[in-house]
Amino acid sequence: MPKKAGQSVLDGVDEVEVTYGQILYEPEGPIRKVYFPIDCLVSLLTAVDSRRSLEVGMVGNEGMVGMPMALGIPVSAVCALVQGSGRALTMSAARFRTEFRVNLALQHALFRYNHLLMAQISQTAACNRFHEAGPRLARWLLMTADRMGSDEFRLTHEFLAHMLGIRRVGVTRAAGVLEKKKLIAYSRGHIQILKRKGLEAAACSCYRIVKDLQDHTHDR
Ligand SMILES: [Zn+2]
């Protein structure tokens, strides 16, 4: 939750545990609660047809899941899937609506976050079209590590293929290259970043563009 906005809203806020694979919203589904990740990570997925979907955004402790609520829309356009288990603060949609109307600090923080999320989604759209699997994988691992606050997390190649919209064999190949360079270690569904600087060098430029924007977009 945005720091400045958190003080006055504690009344209607609960802490919950969300788990890997849990779906918080279905595409076109109602938003009954909003979530402020503490140490969990949530993927935003857009359905491409009835069977396929692609990750278009990632939300960690820098943001909120359920941003349409801040725009007055109680419906999610995307699927919100828990990618990393952990804790989140949650608030009912009704409580959020009331609080958002009167809490200027919360409004300000979420307008700023909306800008950053839009930038992340736009960059990801271009990234998915133009960048190769290897640099995209490196970017994805860095984004995950930043939001989880950890260089070690649970992952399967199948899940990664789903997130990156590439075939499983493509993920295996790209991960193999990063492993060979000793930038990451992968075993039994656990991934560990060994050399962060090296992984940043292997990532496409999209990682730095979005991170710099996030680090340097201050309240105005
Ligand atoms: Zn890229």
Q: Quick one: which H or E segment has residue 59?
A: strand 53-59
- The verdict on residue 50 lying in a domain is yes
Q: Is 13 helix (H, G, I), strand (E, B) or coil?
A: coil
- The verdict on residue 215 lying in a domain is no
Q: Which pLDDT does position 210 carry in this prediction?
A: 94
7 and 92 part of one domain:
yes
Residues 107-117: tens digit of each pLDDT: 999 999 999 99
Q: How far is the centre of ligand 1, averaged over its atoms, from the C-alpha of 6 (Å)?
A: 33
- The verdict on residue 28 lying in a domain is yes
77 and 149 part of one domain:
no
Residue 165, domain extent: 132-203
Q: Which pLDDT does position 188 carry in this prediction?
A: 83
Please answer whether residues 88 and 38 qualify as being in contact, where contact means their C-beta atoms are separated by less than 8 angstroms. Answer: yes
Residues 40-79: tens digit of each pLDDT: 999 999 988 877 888 999 999 999 999 999 999 999 999 9
96 and 12 part of one domain:
yes
88 and 147 part of one domain:
no
- The verdict on residue 62 lying in a domain is yes
Residue 171's domain is classified under what CATH number? 1.10.10.10
User: What protein residues have CB closer than 5 angstroms to ion ligand 1?
Assistant: 127, 131, 204, 206
Q: Is 85 helix (H, G, I), strand (E, B) or coil?
A: coil
Q: Is 192 exposed, middle or buried (0-12, 13-18, 19+ CB in 10 A)?
A: middle
Domain count, the chain: 2
Q: How far is the centre of ligand 1, averaged over its atoms, from the C-alpha of 72 (Å)?
A: 31
- The verdict on residue 112 lying in a domain is no
Q: How far is the centre of ligand 1, averaged over its atoms, from the C-alpha of 78 (Å)?
A: 21
78, 80, 81, 83: CA torsion to nearest 10: 110
Q: How far is the centre of ligand 1, averaged over its atoms, from the C-alpha of 209 (Å)?
A: 9
8 and 48 part of one domain:
yes
Tell me the CA distances in angstroms from 79 to 29, 52, 154, 162, 197, one per residue in order.
8, 12, 20, 13, 32
- The verdict on residue 13 lying in a domain is yes
- The verdict on residue 216 lying in a domain is no
Question: By C-alpha distance, which of 84, 105, 107 is closest to 18?
Answer: 84
Instruction: State the Cα–Cα distance between residues 93 and 210, nearest whole angstrom.
Output: 29
- The verdict on residue 111 lying in a domain is no
